[in-house]
Amino acid sequence: MDEKKKFSVIVVGAGHAGLEAAFAAEKMGKSCALISLSLSKAGEMPCNPSIGGIAKGHLVREIDALGGMMGIAVDETGIQFRMLNKSKGPAVWGPRAQADKEEYKKFFVKKIKNSEINFIKAEVTGLIIKSDRAVGVKLEDGTQIYGEKIIITTGTFLRGRLFTGLASTPGGRLGDPPSNELSLSIQRLGFNTARLKTGTPARIFKDSIDLSKTDEQKGDDEDYSFSFWSDKFIRNMISCHITFTSEKTHDIIRKGLKFSPLYSGMIDGVGPRYCPSIEDKVVKFSNRDSHQIFLEPEGINSDLVYPNGISTSLSPEVQEEFIHSITGLERARIAKFGYAVEYDVVLPTQLKKTMETKEVRGLYFAGQVNGTSGYEEAAAQGLMAGINACLSIAGRDAFILNRDEAYIGVLLEDLVLKGVNEPYRLFTSQAEHRLMLRQDTAMLRLGRYGVDLGLLDISQQERFERYKVSIGAIRARFSERVRSDEKKRDFISIAKADPEEAIVQYLKMYDDKRSDVFTVTYDYKYSGYIEREVKRIESKAYLKTNIPKDIDYYGIEGLKIEAKEKLQKIRPETLEDAEKIPGVTAADIDVILINIKRK
């Protein structure tokens, strides 16, 4: 190793992606520098004060199974828990917790201070590249820091710009400057970038809200932990409340659109389709009389409430007027006005599934800088980037998760093969094998990888082994009851017809954890579907064929022009990856396979 190199891994940015990358490096025994402008803002929640949700909750459980930090953090700082989508099948249930925003940050600050991670308070202004390899970063004061692998997790900070009404200021989020020089450095290296936009609502003082006019939303009466390693449950210490916009609200917003940077042409970036601003909702869903708003406390001791559902970049005057037209918020005092942020993203089709760039070795991008939205999507990318950076240093094979074994696999494959033209958000509908990917099976699916990668300590490994034994024993008892007692109800039949009843009946006889029994009963319920999915996956084994790196798609006869252009640009690693690129057909795959066999 070059003597100039000081660290094994350099992580730029201490948001959700950066934290997972840095802690993964530490657990895998690599020296790590974590560079950010402020230690006190590590793990900042600039948007809603929650972790998890539909598909996002699956990601948190998977991150946890691989030894990541997010699940442990929310268990320690959660103040309300709800399981979303309970009216549907358990494959799409989404665990979600409100977190205390300040305590969540404090959790990570304390973890960093007690770790081997080297925190450097500085701004990164450029990358050091030698022979198409990233070897270090440049700081604002001219200092150069060297590392074997560089992971960029800058979120919304690359050339970030904030908008409130027709006023615009540079910034990655409220109160923090943008990373302009680093963005230009990345573009000078030849990376294709795009502009995206996201936003946040005003924050309202809790004591100025008339909660008697709103609907209370309590947490679920259920013991739940996001982390398999946690011995504590998320306790319901607060209630959220629900209110709605009205036609009066919408009229105020329509009149105020002339003060909207979104509709005046000031913002070019594309916003999130599934979490639009309130002005977008009013314009695009003009037939709607009202829109739901969730009033979410930002913490136990916080004076502020996050009004989830009215993200906006309208002028302060318009924000104040439309907020006061909402039931329960007539006398609301606004602590901070909402704003939009427009920022550069690195188009993720330029990345491998390891999060390493295809053109510059040793350089990784992870998180919102890749065009995703959400803390959970960012954390998953950061974890995978950190893992693969360390594996590469050690000369070990890359760690890739497939779509049929993890939502993380769905997320990364969508980004790398399909790219983004708007902020990407993960949903259960994007996973074609979601019956195999329930949130309660994350540890059974991925725990072995956490062990193999060295991300789980000895006590965690022992706990994982006990869990597997427990699951095996419960499955054996289910089968034994069927064989030994014909007069009593067949538990497998109960499980298929009514899993909740099976759990209740089983717990009357055995002192087992409900979560373990839950997993077994739903495995039985969906066993037929799962077996069918497994056979379907096995029937496409030929798609695992690797594509030669030097293949020239333009020279292959029989491929459509569209397929040639997209394949040459994205350069998929396997036939399975090629098949999932929009515009590439089954016939194109056959042509490529024949070409590979000929050679």
Distances (CA, A) of 16 to 42, 380, 416: 8, 9, 20
Per cent of the chain over pLDDT 70 is 93
Q: State yes or no: pLDDT of 245 exceeds 80.
A: yes
CA–CA separation, 341 and 161 (whole Å):
5
pLDDT in tens, 371-382: 999 999 999 999
Instruction: Give the per-residue pLDDT at 484.
Output: 57
Confidence label for 2 from pLDDT (cuts 50, 70 and 90): very low
Confidence label for 323 from pLDDT (cuts 50, 70 and 90): very high
Q: State yes or no: pLDDT of 190 exceeds 90.
A: yes
H or E element, residue 524: helix 514-525
Q: Average pLDDT in the 262-276 region?
A: 83
pTM: 0.91
Q: Average pLDDT in the 332-337 region?
A: 97
Q: Which domains does the chain have, with CATH numbers?
A: 203-340 (2.40.30.260), 474-530 (no CATH), 540-598 (1.10.150.570)
Instruction: Give the per-residue pLDDT at 354.
Output: 98
CB count, 10 Å around CB of 435?
A: 19
Q: State yes or no: pLDDT of 483 exceeds 80.
A: no
| Parallel, antiparallel or unpaired: strands 193-200 and 240-244 | unpaired
H or E element, residue 294: strand 292-297
Which segment of 140-149, 238-247, 476-485 scores lowest on mean pLDDT? 476-485
Nearest one of 161, 137, 135 to 148, comparing CA atoms = 135
Instruction: Give the per-residue pLDDT at 334.
Output: 98
Q: What is the mean pLDDT of the chain?
A: 91
Which segment of 35-44, 71-80, 246-255, 582-591 scores lowest on mean pLDDT? 582-591
| Parallel, antiparallel or unpaired: strands 304-308 and 292-297 | antiparallel
Nearest one of 181, 194, 191 to 342, comparing CA atoms = 194
Q: State yes or no: pLDDT of 305 exceeds 80.
A: yes
Nearest one of 167, 155, 193 to 46, comparing CA atoms = 155
- Residues 83/29, Cβ–Cβ less than 8 Å: no
Rounded to 5 degrees, φ, ψ at 86 are: -65, -20
Confidence label for 528 from pLDDT (cuts 50, 70 and 90): confident
